[in-house]
Structure 1
Amino acid sequence: MNTPDPESALAEQLLRLTRRVHRIQKRHLEQRDLGVTPAQSRLLRVLTHYDSPPRMADLAERLEVVPRAVTTLVDGLEASGKVRRMPDPANRRVTRIELTDEGRATLRELRGARRSAAEEILAPLTDKERQLLGLLLDTLMDGDLPRPC
Structure 2
Amino acid sequence: MAALAPWDLSPHQARALRVVCGRDGVRLSELAEALRIAPRSATEVADGLQERGLVERSPDPADRRAVVLTPTPAGRQVQQEVDAARGADAHELFARLSADDRAELARLLRLLTD
TM-score (norm 2): 0.88
Q: CA RMSD in A?
A: 1.7
Tell me the distance in 2 between the aligned counterparts of 1:131 and 1:48.
32
8 Å CA contact 2:19–2:31 kept in 1: the answer is yes
**Matched residue of 2:22: which SS?**
coil
Q: Percent identity?
A: 38
8 Å CA contact 2:21–2:79 kept in 1: the answer is no
Q: Would the alpha carbon gap of residues 139 and 68 (structure 1) be closer, same or farther in structure 2, given more than 3 Å must change?
A: farther
Q: Runs of 5+ in structure 1 lacking a partner?
A: 1-25, 145-149
Tell me the distance in 2 between the aligned counterparts of 1:85 and 1:131.
44
Alpha-carbon shift at residue 138 of structure 1 (Å): 4.1
Equivalent residues, number: 114
Tell me the distance in 2 between the aligned counterparts of 1:118 and 1:41.
16
Q: Which structure's CA Rg is the greater one?
A: 1
Counterpart among 77, 81, 93 of residue 53 in structure 2: 81
Aligned to 1:49: 22
Tell me the distance in 1 between the aligned counterparts of 2:21 and 2:28.
14
Letter in 2 for 1:48: C
Letter in 1 for 2:85: A
The structure in which a higher percent of residues are strand is 2
TM-score (norm 1): 0.69
